[in-house]
Amino acid sequence: MLTLKENFYRLLHPKIVFLLTSVGSDGKHNVMSCAWATPASEEPPKIIVCVSKEHYTAELILQTKEFAINIPTKEMVKAIWICGSKSGRDVDKFKEANLTKTKASKISAPLIKECIGFIECKVTEVIDVGECYAFVADVVESMVDERYFKKSVWIDNTIPMHLGGKKIVYFVS
């Protein structure tokens, strides 16, 4: 058996990669690529997302306690890379990645029009877990484009998955 030291978490990949949108108390929007998330409860509906304390996204979520998960298609890999390698502190990633903002229904963080699944969340608890904050949140709305999601399952070869690290993205086939 091989002992894993630093990258133990890769045993839990591939994971769906999504675009995490947020808003600051000054109304500024941001988007980052994210894979470390899990459903945490069905009743009440809860989710946990882990974000590095250093990321601009963490700063914004701490301010407004809101975020949205936007699930991209495989055609959006370039946007995923831009949103996962640059900081909203330095650039407007919506512009750089050609992403169109739309209004969410229950939160003020934006949604991304090009995406095909959405979960709107309100943070109820922030847990300090070392390099990351774990944002525990209520799911206040969730929607999907039913062309890509049949009988509660993503259809094959639609959504990108993340193997771990910053470069490896592949698709369910």
Ligand X SMILES: Cc1cc2nc3c(=O)[nH]c(=O)nc-3n(C[C@H](O)[C@H](O)[C@H](O)COP(=O)(O)O)c2cc1C
Query: Which residues make up the interface to ligand X (CB under 6 A)?
Result: 17, 30, 32-36, 50-52, 55-57, 80, 84-89, 132, 162, 166, 169
Beta strand segments in the chain, E: 15-16, 18-23, 29-34, 37-41, 46-52, 66-71, 101-102, 111-112, 117-129, 132-144, 149-150, 153-154, 160-164, 168-171
According to DSSP, the β-strands at 168-171 and 15-16 are: unpaired
CB of 101 to ligand X, least distance (A): 15
Nearer to ligand X, 63 or 87 (CB): 87
Output the smallest distance, CB 106 to ligand X, in A: 22
Comparison of 95 and 150: residue with beta carbon closer to ligand X:
95
- Shortest distance, position 135 Cβ to ligand X, whole Å: 11
- Report the residue number whose CB is nearest to ligand X: 84
Closest CB to ligand X among residues 50, 68: 50
Q: Between 105 and 170, name the residue whose CB sits nearer to ligand X.
A: 170
Two structure tokens written together for 145: 């484009």
Q: How far is the CB of 26 from ligand X (least distance, A)?
A: 15
Q: Which is nearer to ligand X, 61 or 139 (CB)?
A: 61
Q: Report in angstroms how near the CB of residue 160 gets to ligand X at its nearest.
A: 8
